[in-house]
Amino acid sequence: MVPQLSTSEELSQPLRSRFLRGFLAKLGASWIIGALLVYAPLSVAQTPDFDVVIEPLTAIDRQFMDDQRQRVEQLANRLGRGLTANVDRDLDTLQRILDDRMVPADDRLTLQAMGLVFGDLLGQQLDMDWVVYRDRKGRSRALRYREMDIFLFPVTMISRRQEGGSDRRLKQLFEELVDDTRRQLPGGKWFQ
């Protein structure tokens, strides 16, 4: 007796094979279309047209920010002071640096370093942390309240005012920012 040679399924059962291939093709196409409908909106956030992305500070950000704090510390030392994390004292020190014109209005980097120290004081007062804020305009360091969409951008607050010739007192600006921001926080009605 000779063993039977195997034949392909297509030859032995042609109708079933065509049906199965057609069914699988339709199923695969349906799956691909469904996946596109579900995942396409998610991929939009990865394009350059995203709205806002919040990220933690990188090691480079932290190093740069420490260098900026040191720059302001050196200016404070020239006044016989140091940065103490005491809000009233450090605001007075920053104001004296401005009043004594130790930093020219066109020295944006140093003025932004002062804005960073100003931001440290705001963050301490409002329980906010530094994050990287990306939007269509670019990348900034900002203060964020917990995981909520409440942000402050203090790095440029002093430099923009100085470049514009403003002589507004930092203590007044600080108090207004704290009051306005507290109203936005959970339970903010208690701060009014």
How confident is the model at residue 113, as a pLDDT? Answer: 98
Q: Are residues 30 and 118 in the same domain?
A: no
Backbone phi and psi for residue 138, each to the nearest 5 degrees, phi listed first: 140, -155
- Please check whether residues 18 and 56 belong to one and the same domain: no
What range does the domain containing 16 cover? 9-44
Provide block-wise average pLDDT over 10 residues at a time, the chain (192 residues). 56 56 60 52 49 96 98 98 97 98 95 98 98 96 96 97 92 97 85 58
Regarding whether 20 and 105 lie in a shared domain, the answer is no
pLDDT tens digits for 145-172? Answer: 999 999 999 999 999 999 998 889 999 9
Interatomic CA distance for residues 63 and 65, integer angstroms: 5
Same domain? 102 vs 57: yes
For 105, other C-beta atoms within 10 Å of its C-beta total: 14
Q: Which pLDDT belongs to residue 40? A: 45
Six token digits for residue 59: 């090691």
Check residue 16 and give its pLDDT.
58
* pLDDT given at position 188: 74
Helix (H, G, I), strand (E, B) or coil at 85: coil
pLDDT at 167: 86
Query: Is 3 contained in some domain?
Result: no
CA separation for the pair 135, 157 (Å, rounded):
19
Q: What is the pLDDT of residue 109?
A: 97
User: Looking at the whole model, is its pTM more than 0.75?
Assistant: no
> Are residue 135 and residue 103 in the same domain, yes or no?
yes
